[in-house]
């Protein structure tokens, strides 16, 4: 089955800096890669996703890149703000078989 590795497990940055979280996946058939943000005690919320027919997607301060050959994808957050502090999860899914395999999460701490 699919295996998703996520790094780093914790990431501390100063407000205004950029943050990068990286994930690798094992199954080359995976073609859908969402990112979720989870604040303490809250539900995971979808913040951005990418499908394998594109290499990059942006939404304001958030971007995701995908390298299918290397089987890795990354989340980039620019101009970080304290409210970006949360746990971020990457996930992968195989088309037509829609269960998500999650990474173990990255705790992002943005200091004012």
Partner 1 sequence: NAGVMQNPRHLVRRRGQEARLRCSPMKGHSHVYWYRQLPEEGLKFMVYLQKENIIDESGMPKERFSAEFPKEGPSILRIQQVVRGDSAAYFCASSPPSLAGAYTQYFGPGTRLTVL
The contact set with partner 1 (CB under 8 A) reads 6, 31-32, 34, 36, 42-46, 49, 51, 89, 93-105
| CB-nearer residue toward partner 1: 52 or 78 | 52
- Answer yes or no: are the C-beta atoms of 48 and 75 closer than 8 Å: yes
What is the closest distance, in whole angstroms, from the C-beta atom of residue 33 to partner 1 in the complex? 9
| Chain centroid, CA 56 distance in Å | 13
Judged by CB, which is closer to partner 1: 22, or 78? Answer: 22
Q: How far is the CB of 16 from partner 1 (least distance, A)?
A: 28
CB atoms within 10 A of CB 54: 10
State the virtual CA torsion across 33, 4, 46, 109 in degrees, nearest 10. -130
Q: Where are the alpha helices (DSSP H) in 5-101?
A: none
> Judged by CB, which is closer to partner 1: 14, or 99?
99
Rounded to a whole number of angstroms, the minimum distance from the CB of residue 87 to partner 1 is 9
Is the distance from CB of 36 to CB of 21 less than 8 angstroms?
no
CB of 43 to partner 1, least distance (A): 4
């Amino acid at each position: 089955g699919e295996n998703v590795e996520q790094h780093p497990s914790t990431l501390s940055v100063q407000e205004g800096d950029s943050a990068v979280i990286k994930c690798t996946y094992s199954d080359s058939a995976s073609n859908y890669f969402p990112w979720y943000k989870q604040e303490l005690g809250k539900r995971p919320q979808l913040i951005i996703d990418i499908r394998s027919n594109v290499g990059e997607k942006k939404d304001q301060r958030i971007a995701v890149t995908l390298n299918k050959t290397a089987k890795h994808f990354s989340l980039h957050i620019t101009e970080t703000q304290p409210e970006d502090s949360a746990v971020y999860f990457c996930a992968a899914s195989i088309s037509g078989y829609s269960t998500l395999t999650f990474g173990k999460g990255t705790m992002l701490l943005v200091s004012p």
